[in-house]
Structures are given as structure tokens and as C-alpha cells.
Structure 1
Amino acid sequence: MRSRTAVVAGLVLVLLSAGCANGKPTSSSSSPLPYPPIPLVSATPSVAPTTPPPAKPARKPAARARIGPLNTQRMTGVRAVALTFDDGPHPRWTPKLLDQLRQAKVKATFCVLGVRVKSYPALVRRIVREGHTLCNHSWRHDLDLGSRSTGQIRADLRRTNQEIQRAVPGVRIPYYRQPGGRWTPAIVQVSRELGMKPLHWDVDPADWDDTSTPEISKRVAQQARPGSIVLLHDGGGDRSRTLGACPTVISSLKRKYGITRLR
């Protein structure tokens, strides 16, 4: 009896093993397993974390522009004052201004833009022919030029000088004036390297700011002193008010201090 029982038990074990091997449950129950399935382990070998690249050093900020002298010329060095005119040449205002200066027998400095020189080279030739001084005022009045790279500054100033000398071959360009007076050490250095003195001013009547003719004359009279450099404009907008003030300004300055030409 015992041996028969052992045989039956062995057959049962064989049948159970066969059912499991075929992937079929031996029970008719469809209830889930009483334990969670074991997650598969990926055969891909783990990769050691890479060391992040060193952080780039913070970029040195560009020098901030400063409105003011910053080692620039703002006085004539003598008692007489100097007149300077920016943002030209202009086909309407510059000829009229030149007529006034010729009549008053006064010489001035014209701070010209390269893009305007390219458009009106004949006016630049007249400025030089009538004995006035030229000043580089950048290619197109870039207020932020002083904060750009040294290479960009040099390219701008050279391009403007080349255009001026294309209009008047061999002419001297002894000065550079930064638009808005926004000087930086870089633009002062580059202008000097190119043989130009950085030219600022001492008197600014704000004729560029829709100032009336009487107010322009009044401000120049109030601000001027021996050796002043006066900032005015013959380009960049409607300069009828400036042209209207010039006869009074010129006669007053000539009488009090004399007017000299910057060289």
C-alpha cells in the first residue's frame, strides 16, 4: 500500500512540473499572484557619471560710456573761444552756415559723419577750401560706439577717415568727437592711435533739442568763458533755429573773447 501511494505521489509531481514548463497554470483560478513581479535588471552596464566641464569665466563687461571729458580736449588753451558744428554736412544748412562764417570772417571746426560725407563730398571740399577744420564724428553717429570692441571702434573711425580723404585727398583730420560725448577709455585710445585728438566741448546750448533761437543765444552767452569750445549743429535735423542764433552768437563771442580755429 505504501509503495502504491509513493508512485501516485510521484506521478502528481511529474504532472505539475509539466504544466509549469508549458507556461500554463495547474489551477483554474485566475487570481493574481500574491506578490509583486520582480523587476527585470537591464543587461546594459552602468556608466560612471561624467565630470561636468568647468564653467566659463564670466565675460568682462564692456567699459561704461561716460559723458564728460575723460582725458579729452574741452578748452582751446587760449583766451579765444572755438565754434564747432556737428552731424553734417547737410545740403540745406551747411551752405547757409558757411555763408555766415565767411561773412563774419570766422573759422570753425566741422565734426562730420562718414555717411554724410559720402552723400555730400562737395560740401566737405568747400569746408576745407574756406579754411575750416575737419573732425571725425564716426560713420553714422553711433552713440554706443565707445562700448564696442577695439576692432569695431577702429574700423568705424578708419572708414570715416577714408571717406573724408576720398572727398578731399590728403586733408588733415586732427580731431575725433564721440557722438553724445559718450567717451570710454577704448575710444579715446583708438582715436589717439589714429592720430586724432579726442575733442569734447565746454558750452552746450542744446540746439539739438528744439531750443528756440533766443534761448540758444542766451545759453551760449551764459555758459561761455575764456577758452570755451562751443557745441552747435549744422546737421541731424531742422537747424533753422541754430542758423538764426549764429549771427548773434558769433558777434557776441568775437567781441568778448575772440574766436579761434582749432588746428
Structure 2
Amino acid sequence: MLQAALAVGALSAGRFFFPPQDGTPEAAAGRPDRHRPPPHDTPRYPGPAHPSEAYRLRPMAGETSLSGPGASPPHPDVAHTLGTGRREIFLTFDDGPHPRYTPEILRVLRRNGARATFFVIGENADAFPELLQDIADDGHAVGNHTWTHPQLTKLPPGAVRSELGRTSSLIDDVLGTAPNLARAPYGAWDDPSLSICNELGMSPVGWAIDSRDWTEPGVDGITDAVMAEIRPGAIVLSHDGGGERSQTVDALDRYLPHLMADGYRPARIEP
């Protein structure tokens, strides 16, 4: 179903998940500041954390920080809308799974009979694998959003491969199927990272509508951002983790019934 924009992300004949290459630190002290893309000279790749750690509640704000003035244009080989002859839209949720907000979003989707795509952070999925299973059991697609949410365009190829490959391996272990979709943190792809994404059997996905829920503009602000731009084939960006997401849940509960009453069908992304 993906149009020509996904050519670079066409599925490989097989999937191979590679360990970090020499020189790629697998566990360094601290974690990247998720309020902005990590600096080029200080990449960090933490190992699995204990589930009790509070890092999952730290905001990963600035998801679209690269879309402001001076930012590079979206990569032409990444899908932002999907060709469809029907009145379909594609709701996506990044940065989870989260023990509070992911179940709440799942309940809203279930109540409305809607499907969506969840781009998960590997270290969060590692801590809450049962939520990963809940997402899949409800019929939603699970995509790869890297292991620690770094800016891929600032990393060497070995680190990009580790971030994406490690997350794909975990999803495969939990669900029995490796993901075939990936979204780069901050929406930042370049040719090397896209090539690795392709080698790992995934198609890259962007977005056409930013709900801007990561700015916490209020339920009305999120609802207005989605309703004002909605159109057939649009991919909508929202978040179920990385910060306080109660506004996201309440906004979804408000605008989703209106969209469906207007004839829109929220569907999962299928490569």
C-alpha cells in the first residue's frame, strides 16, 4: 500500500540484526537529553535499565524540533501520506510503551473500533513487554523507534545499526515477528540511516500531521491541530510515552469519534 516514497524502505529478502560494531559504546554513563537532539560528539547508548528507573517518565519533548526554521526538508524517500482510494487515515503513537498512557490510548481505540501504529522505544518495550503484546493483540501495528531515541543523523553507521537492530530483535523476541516499519526520532533520516533501515527489512515512516501533543498545548489545541489538517491518506503523529500524555488521551477521545462520524477509517500502516 505504501506509494513510491517508500522505495528505499522496501523490505529486504531477509532480516538480520547485528550487534554493535567495534568502537560503538553499548553502555555509557547517563542518558541523552531528550529535550533536544543529542550533540554530535557525545552519543550515548545505555544498556537495559531496571524497570523501576524513572527515565521512562522523563519527557522526550521536541519530537519535531527539526521541523522549525533552518531545518532540512523531509527526506523524499520517507512516506508522509499513504496512497489510498478510501477515506483512510493513519494514527501513530511514538515513544511508548508507557504503563499508564498506552493502556488508556488502547481503550479509546478499542471503544471506537480504530486501528493505529505504535512506534516503540526499545528500552521501554524491554521494561514493559506485556504492553507490547497488548498493542499487537488489539490488532495494531508495532514499529521501531530506536532503542534510546537518539538523532540517527548524528550517529556513525554502527550505532544506527545497533539502535534499530536491537529494537527489532526485541520486538521479534516478544511478538514472534520483527517490525517492518521504522520511524526516526525527530523524523531525521539521511541516506546512510535509510540504507540500514532497508537492510533490516523496514520501511521508513514520517508524518503529514503533527498533533503537537509533545508541546502540551491542551486538549483543544491537540484536537484543533488534527481536525484542521485531516485528509485521506494522512499519517498523524501523536505520543503515548516520553512525557505527560493525558492531554493526548483526552484529545483522542474527543476527535476520534468525530473523524469516524465524518467517514474516516483509522487504519494501521501496512508496508
Same fold, judged at TM 0.5 (above): yes
Instruction: Give the distance between the partners of 1:195 and 1:166, measured in 2 at CA.
Output: 16
Give the 3-state SS of the residue equivalent to 2:99 in structure 1: coil
Per the TM alignment, residue 75 of structure 1 is displaced from its structure 2 partner at its CA by 1.0
Query: Is 2:212 aligned against 1:206?
Result: yes
Contact 1:66 1:183 in 2 (8 A): no
Unaligned runs of 5+ in 2: 1-39, 42-70
Amino acid in the other structure paired with 1:152: A
Instruction: Give the distance between the partners of 1:252 and 1:88, measured in 2 at CA.
Output: 25
Cα deviation digits, residues 51-97 of structure 1 (max 9, x gap):
xxxxxxxxxx99xx845243101112113110000000000100111
Q: After TM superposition, where is structure 1 displaced by more than 6 Å over at least 4 residues in a row?
A: none
Amino acid in the other structure paired with 2:168: N
* TM-score, reference length from structure 2: 0.70
Per the TM alignment, residue 108 of structure 1 is displaced from its structure 2 partner at its CA by 0.5
Aligned positions of 1:77-116 closer than 5 A: 77-78=83-84, 79-116=87-124
* TM-score, reference length from structure 1: 0.72
Aligned positions of 1:1-263 closer than 5 A: 66=72, 68-78=74-84, 79-142=87-150, 144-168=151-175, 170-256=176-262, 257-263=264-270
Contact 2:96 2:124 in 1 (8 A): yes
Radius of gyration: which is bigger?
1
Instruction: Give the distance between the partners of 2:155 and 2:178, measured in 1 at CA.
Output: 26
Instruction: Give the distance between the partners of 2:145 and 2:168, measured in 1 at CA.
Output: 10
Instruction: Give the distance between the partners of 1:66 and 1:128, measured in 2 at CA.
Output: 34
Instruction: Give the distance between the partners of 1:74 and 1:231, measured in 2 at CA.
Output: 10
Instruction: Give the distance between the partners of 2:200 and 2:156, measured in 1 at CA.
Output: 16
* Cα root mean square deviation, aligned: 1.8
* Greater relative contact order (Cα < 8 A, sep 6+): 2
Per the TM alignment, residue 130 of structure 1 is displaced from its structure 2 partner at its CA by 1.0
Instruction: Give the distance between the partners of 1:150 and 1:69, measured in 2 at CA.
Output: 18
Identity of aligned residues (%): 37
Contact 2:168 2:178 in 1 (8 A): no
